[in-house]
Structure 1
């Protein structure tokens, strides 16, 4: 096709950069925490400064985390809402892998809060919560590998290996140094410590570092995925969903409408695929907008489509029709969608691109007739929460 591409959002770069900085800080915090647990004294001076550095880095990591999360939420391509930051596996974008990050955020916040309140908590209670730091490390690495589009880059691999290797080495060294553990316990715990990153590496080789990860990463919670305007693997046909009371949209035979709005583009993933989203209001259906997401390889200033997601939704983000693109020729898009009752609607959209490549105008013409109650699906959030206009 010849749809022009838009500029990659700087928010994506900010979010990914903050994510890597946060991961490095997390590794440093983990190593210093293990050193602190061993009561290691700094060579110079009489104070135990390691705990102070550990706490200071923890607070700094929270600031970096806020930047990472804030940029991801503000980025219109990721379709990640505030709710997705704390409620796992509900995100429209790579729900499983973003979900691991949500779990890590929840556990990390619990660890930081209990650390700040340590003087008011019993040592056993504090220590029990603080043990959550270990799964936070693993979950953060899995989240970064699975949700990042640049995980296969050499610099990304270096960061993951360095952080993971430093943590594993520190944990094993600490276990060996402990005098209250028997040799058998030390061997078992050390083996588990080494086994976890080994499994993660094996998964990464066949997953994020493997072929076609961009599409495979979208699976796991498919209904939640297709419930939002998001980059996803296209389904063979229209998606059915469970209805609840909501506004009614009438699409009669010979339906026509003007359609205009903006074009958003994702950064290229490790396989070189990008996604274009065209989203805009339908002039003859006030209060409703049409979104078309095209996924594929850049070609001659446009994109060679491999999959798609089409959605007609109310302006508050509630989905009405869902489906896929069935034909793409030049700037003409033909789509087939269906409502909650399974009633189909086929339409074509002719697009005129703006001079800056980030906006468009066009017209929609279709056939079919339906009048039905709208629906809401778990994980769907109004676009106002996702940073869309």
Structure 2
């Protein structure tokens, strides 16, 4: 049973990271104001929201399966207070930090109507910290973190996010396009 929990925890962690990468890229694309591959902006927003939701589900499965895996030796406090873990406390702490950031983003997303757009956006900017912290956690703490296939996957993820960020800050960024050209609205 421990091997099954370990495999489940390992696999769901990788899938959660991939879905989080997709979510980050699509979030950046959505804010660019431009369609992606001819898809309307609302479609990209919908896929962004759904990939975020799926990433959260896979993260919960990742955490629960590793909690019950005797090899991982996780305690409830390890999920909420960073850097207290028994094994690899730094790398586990990064995962805890990523979880804490994700929880803040989820809560503000659910409360968006009541907390206002400005607070929502400020907290949503934490995604730019969440994603690299989660990536570092998976490389440092994951059992496949230093394998060639996973490092290639991690590198591809970094390239995708970097391209999306470069695209967003380009001069063609619609939301601030006029401001960058020195025009007034």
TM-score bin (small chain): 0.7 to 0.9
Structure with higher helix content: 2
Number of residue-to-residue matches in the alignment? 175
Does residue 1:131 correspond to 2:125, yes or no? Answer: yes
CA-atom RMSD in angstroms: 1.8
Mark the runs of 5 or more structure 1 residues left unpaired by the alignment: 1-6, 183-389
* 1:78 equivalent in alignment to 2:100: no
* Alpha-carbon distance change, 44 to 97 in structure 1, aligned in 2, over 3 angstroms: closer
Q: Please, what TM-score do these two structures have when normalized by structure 2?
A: 0.88
SS of the equivalent of 1:83 reads helix
**Structure 1: distance between partners of 2:95 and 2:43:** 30
Whole-angstrom CA distance in 1 between matches of 2:7 and 2:61 = 11
Contact kept, 8 Å, 2:13 with 2:62, in 1: the verdict is: yes
Tell me whether 1:96 sits opposite 2:87 in the alignment: no
The DSSP-based 3-state class of the residue aligned with 2:83 is coil
| 2:160 counterpart SS class | helix
Matches within 5 A, 1:271-290: none
Deviation at 1:133, TM superposition (A): 0.3
- Select the structure that is richer in strand: 1
Which digits, 9 at most, give the CA deviation of each residue in 1:167-224, with x for residues without a partner? 1111111111333458xxxxxxxxxxxxxxxxxxxxxxxxxxxxxxxxxxxxxxxxxx
| Higher Rg of the two aligned structures | 1
1:153 Cα offset (Å): 1.3
Cross-structure match for 1:173: 167
SS across alignment from 2:145? coil
2:62 matched to 1:68? yes
In 2, Cα distance between equivalents of 1:30 and 1:133: 7
Q: Distance in 2 between matches of 1:146 and 1:44?
A: 36
Paired position in structure 1 for 2:4: 10
Shift of residue 8, structure 1, vs aligned partner? 6.6
* SS of residue matched to 1:149: coil
Q: Which SS does the other structure have where 1:48 is aligned?
A: helix
Residues 49-88 of structure 1, C-alpha deviations (whole Å, 9 max, x = no match) = 1111111111111110011101111110111112201110
**What TM-score comes out, normalization by structure 1 length?**
0.43
2:153 counterpart residue number: 159
1:31 aligned residue (18, 25, 32): 25
Q: Deviations over 1:231-277 (max 9, x none)?
A: xxxxxxxxxxxxxxxxxxxxxxxxxxxxxxxxxxxxxxxxxxxxxxx
Unaligned ranges ≥5, structure 2:
none
